[in-house]
Amino acid sequence: MKIAYVLNNTWYAGGQTRVLINKVNYWAKHGHDVYILTADQDGNPSYYEMDPRVKTVDYAIGYIGADQLSMLQKAMKLPGYLIRHYTQMKRTLMEIRPDVVVSMYGKEIFFLPFIKDGSVKVLEAHGARYTWIFSRKGLLGKLQNWVDIQLVRRFDQFVVLTQEDIPNWDVPNTICIPNGNTFAPVESATLDVKKVISSGRHGVQKNFENLVEAWAIVHAACPDWRLKICGQGLEKLDPIIDKLQLRDSIDRLESSDMQKEYMDSSISVVSSRHEGFSLALAEANACGVPNVSYACPCGPRDIIINGETGILVEELEDYHKLAEGIIRLIQDDELRKKMGKRAKELSVRFSEESIMQRWTKLFTELIAKKKKH
């Protein structure tokens, strides 16, 4: 197959980028012809290592710079950006003639289905619809949500990350294919290391301030344990860490080797207000690390079997309850290791091979259907 992925860039150090790079590396390794078409790579290397057989094209559109403009300035400039993006991408697609083009839900959603290059058009949503609705307010937000649905319906296939999210879209051609683990260690974490891990970029969604509040309670009960937060923008946690006098028990770092970080941890925590899937939960399971997570939409309920592979905290944003879950696993070695063992066993649900076989089946069926018409 000849497959093209379309997105903003690959230099951003997020879960979506990591999952994408794993996918294209898998396709290339299995003999497929793979392209990545970016809007604004700006000459930067991919944050995660990419197979040299993957071909890349960048259009240098300038969307990122436009994000700093006022609403009126954006409205004036966006049509020009979209026309230039459409023109350049159409030229590329007509030249390479891919079998499948996958949009990662960037600005190309406005025009990609209208490029008649003979390819199947697939749209992937790496955030739950709840995430969009949560962040969009008022009449403009309602308009944006309505436009979303109209755009999604123009694609041959729409793919979301969780079963929980499918009803939120109310689009007939919607299916669920979760993210695959970006690693699959043979061994499991020992769960004897006195470290709790959380990961993600600082922001409203990840709710790390709430986690720090929970950690103040955990630290008082279990002072010999440490919290490790891996991600970007974590310096913004300085005020609350200093206020609660936790600087000596919380480590913050950026890491491109998350397997190493999970293997060196005994409990994983997700304090998010909402998720698209939560790759962190699945990756912790792959390393045999049990999770404690708020039962937020969408993802934790798809991944954690409460009481078996981890603990789901139903009381969203109640950091006292989150702390209780963490302390329970810290103080009960047998339960922690039992949950970690079961989490490892069930992590095969999200193994790379299992998930990529589902993508292979989908692409093969869509291509065959396209050829019939």
List, in order of start, the domains of the chain with CATH numbers: 2-180+351-372 (3.40.50.2000), 195-349 (3.40.50.2000)
Q: What is the structure's pLDDT at 133?
A: 62
Cα angle 305-362-352, degrees, rounded to a multiple of 5: 45
Q: What is the pTM of this model?
A: 0.83
Of 350, 366, 363, 362, the residue nearest 34 (C-alpha)? 363
Bridge partners of residue 100, in order along the sequence: 3, 120
Instruction: Give me 355's structure tokens.
Output: 């998930």
Q: Which helix (H) or strand (E) holds 16?
A: helix 15-29
Q: What is the pLDDT of residues 157-178, one digit of tens each?
A: 999 999 988 988 888 889 999 9
CA distances from 251 to 149, 161, 266 (A): 42, 30, 15
Q: For residues 188 and 340, is the Cβ–Cβ distance under 8 A? A: yes
Q: For residues 131 and 172, is the Cβ–Cβ distance under 8 A? A: no
Q: What is the structure's pLDDT at 9?
A: 94
Ranges of H-type helices in the chain:
15-29, 63-66, 71-96, 129-135, 138-152, 166-169, 208-221, 238-243, 258-263, 279-286, 300-303, 319-331, 333-346, 352-372
Instruction: Please report where in the chains the tokens 């790079």 appear, as a residue.
Output: 21
Q: What is the structure's pLDDT at 322?
A: 98
Would you give the end-to-end CA distance of the chain in angstroms?
A: 19
Tens-digit pLDDT profile for the chain (373 aa)?
Answer: 999 999 999 998 777 898 899 999 999 999 999 999 999 999 999 999 999 999 999 999 988 876 677 777 777 888 999 999 999 999 999 999 999 999 999 999 999 999 999 999 999 998 777 666 656 667 777 787 788 888 999 999 999 999 988 988 888 889 999 998 878 899 999 999 999 999 998 999 899 999 999 999 999 999 999 999 999 899 999 999 999 999 999 999 998 899 999 999 999 999 999 888 888 999 999 999 999 999 998 889 999 999 999 999 999 999 999 999 999 999 999 999 999 999 999 999 999 999 999 999 999 999 999 888 7
Bridge partners of residue 76, in order along the sequence: none
Bridge partners of residue 157, in order along the sequence: 122
The sign one gets for the Cα dihedral 75, 80, 86, 92 is negative
CA 127/CA 107 separation, integer angstroms: 15
Q: What is the pLDDT of residues 119-150, one digit of tens each?
A: 999 999 987 776 666 566 677 777 877 888 88
Q: For residues 8 and 40, is the Cβ–Cβ distance under 8 A? A: yes
Kindly compute the dihedral angle of the four CA atoms of residues 225, 231, 232, 233, in this order, to the nearest 10 degrees: -30
Of 62, 65, 51, the residue nearest 20 (C-alpha)? 51
Instruction: Give me 132's structure tokens.
Output: 């969009």
Q: For residues 147 and 110, is the Cβ–Cβ distance under 8 A? A: no
CA 262/CA 220 separation, integer angstroms: 24
Instruction: Please report where in the chains the tokens 């690390």 appear, as a residue.
Output: 289
